[in-house]
Structure 1
């Protein structure tokens, strides 16, 4: 039995979880680099089980059709949209949610804490100034004071609500918009509900915290970005496709907005030749929002338990039980 762990960028999977019950009965291979589309099918062809991490790799219908040995996919989040469940089910491939013990809770603070850090780094130009210092230069830019400014939150769920609390500690005014947000819900979170276009027009900083779906793809488009002040910043730690990337690049290039802090992109990992890499008014980070030691420990521990259960002949937490009707032989 061959098991693959994909996209372990930090090389942490084997140290953060106990895989001994797996390695005693199966061959385990960890991939620290992202597998490109033109190589992934050939590289993964020998594997019986693939462990994915959030949405780092897409397991498409086309890929599933080429992975003839594949019998189970382990996911760390049942809500991921990068697995073709229908294709997996038809091929008899189980999709198992890797659930960690309750003693390893997921930290809901990870992403909002990071988002606030990215916000600060963006408006104070920390990455650029740090790089200049390493090159023997001294201070060059003028930062933005947060106190008294307006933070606009696109989405006021669990993450957005924490962001509103952080903003209050920095003496900021907070406004918010989402499709179903009510005045009372916004007020309870310490924000004022406004119309979508008003949010972009009034905000000094817009921070995106919206779940990606068909209705939210391109939610922040050219019209919304055009409404922003030339001194305003946009921060996105949600999902890349929520924002029209081409419209954002154009606005940054033409200095129609002051800058952006981006942790998520349409294509991940971000290609080296992407136009965002050539702009000096954007702070870029490689999708670090949820990436903390606590969360990675939980994800990998859950994956190890899911694989061990499969090897025991008792696959657990199956998200597509219909696949059992077409189950591939072990």
Structure 2
């Protein structure tokens, strides 16, 4: 009789998908965000073949060494900065994620933040609720139509933002590690240098992954190149920005405002300087937080893991080169 692989479930898996997992795997539950090494008895570590988890679970060299049978990590997210990819690659551990299914939701939030900051909608709501409207008119805000939107990063989400922004008659420019000739041929954006992007944008939106080379890659130099009337948006990862430099730029009028769904520290402490700035709109890392999108994400994450555990190629692999070895390592 074929031995079922043993997997860790450390993500919000609905009942129907849990049945799918349990049909082909033995499951072990670990609370979300907890290290399996803290929760599971040591004698169980060597029995774990796979894992579905959120970005709150740190998958580092220590965990991978403690679980030598672990060959597949399926992230319930498009990002994978919780995984030490060097360690995973060295140990031939396959890492899966959930790209594509959340592009629209994150792009929608990006556009929403742009509108909230430019039109000062959050303050406008408070203005009406407080009764201030009875005493006078709300201050004028700023148009976005006809303005220049700059995208730092032109992946799947960036392309959806670009297409949506065209409906607002915005001129879309972008900078990316690789020039996106397809997007240019489609007429949705044009390529500029990184410095030109910061200098020319009326609204600058960040869509780059967090990696060692991008950590704090947006700082005082970049904010200093931006227009004083510019708006800065980040729905990617908080740590790609030097947050102290951003706060200084917002306090001192270097840029006009910011819309942030991500911060360096999450949840954001209530006493953070960001919470005291009137020219900032803050959200609680909700880019993918819709019922439909989260269902599509967990569906893909679970199917990635089930496919890998049953010898079938997963749909979304971060390091596809690890797949042949991960397949060979499955329990006989």
Instruction: Please indicate, yes or no, whether the TM-score normalized by the shorter chain is above 0.5.
Output: yes
Q: How far apart in 2 are the matches of 1:88 and 1:165?
A: 35
Aligned length: 311
Distance across 1 between alignment mates of 2:188 and 2:86: 42
* Counterparts of 1:186 and 1:293, CA distance in 2: 33
2:286 to 275, 285, 288: 288
- Structure 2 CA distance for aligned equivalents of residues 41 and 278 of structure 1: 39
How far apart, in 1, do the equivalents of 2:71 and 2:80 lie? 19
d(CA) in 2 for partners of 1:27 and 1:263?
33
Cα gap change, 1:87/1:134 in structure 2, threshold over 3 Å: closer, same or farther? same
Residue 90 of structure 1 deviates from its aligned partner by 7.5
Residues 156 and 186 in structure 1, CA contact (< 8 A), matched pair in contact too: no
In 1, the alpha carbon distance for the partners of 2:205 and 2:79 equals 22
Q: 1:23-51, CA deviations, whole angstroms, 9 ceiling, x for partnerless residues? A: 5775664746x55xxx7752466784542
Q: Is the 8 A contact 2:72 2:96 kept in 1?
A: no
Correspondence 1:118 to 2:119: no
- Match of residue 146 from structure 1: 144
Change (3 A) 1:183 1:107: closer
Secondary structure of the residue aligned to 1:19 is helix
Gaps of 5+ in 2: 1-5, 315-319
SS of aligned partner of 1:4: strand
The answer to whether residue 9 in structure 2 is matched with residue 4 in structure 1 is yes
Q: How far did residue 248 of structure 1 move? A: 0.9
Please, what TM-score do these two structures have when normalized by structure 2?
0.72
Query: 1:223 aligned to 221, 243, 264, which one?
Result: 221
Correspondence 1:172-211 to 2 at 5 A? 172-181=170-179, 186=184, 188-211=186-209
Give the superposition deviation at 1:279.
2.2
The answer to whether the Cα contact below 8 Å between 2:80 and 2:97 also exists between their aligned partners in 1 is: no
Q: Which residue of 1 aligns with 2:38?
A: 42
Whether 1:241 and 2:236 are equivalent positions in the alignment is no
The CA deviation at 1:234 is 0.4
**C-alpha distance after superposition, 1:140-173 (max 9, x if no partner):** 5532111232222223343333333322321223
CA shift for structure 1 position 188: 4.1
**Contact map agreement 2:206 2:234 (CA 8 A) in 1:** yes
Secondary structure of 1:109's match? helix
| 1:109 pairs with 2:109 | no
User: Do 2:78 and 2:98's aligned partners in 1 also have CA atoms closer than 8 Å?
Assistant: no
Give the drift of 1:119: 1.1
Does the aligned pair in 2 maintain the 1:262–1:284 contact within 8 Å? yes
What is the alpha-carbon distance in structure 1 between the residues aligned to residue 213 and residue 180 of structure 2?
A: 19
How well do the aligned residues superpose, as a CA RMSD in angstroms? Answer: 4.1
In the TM superposition, residue 116 of structure 1 has moved relative to its aligned partner by 0.9
Give the aligned partner of residue 167 of structure 2.
169
Q: 1:21 to 1:323 in 2, by over 3 A?
A: closer
**Displacement after TM superposition at 1:226 (Å):** 0.8
Taking a change above 3 Å as real, the CA distance of residues 20 and 134 of structure 1, as seen in their structure-2 partners, is: farther
The Cα shift of 1:259 comes to 0.8
* Match in the other structure for 2:3: none
Of structures 1 and 2, the one with the larger relative CO (CA 8 A, separation 6+) is: 1
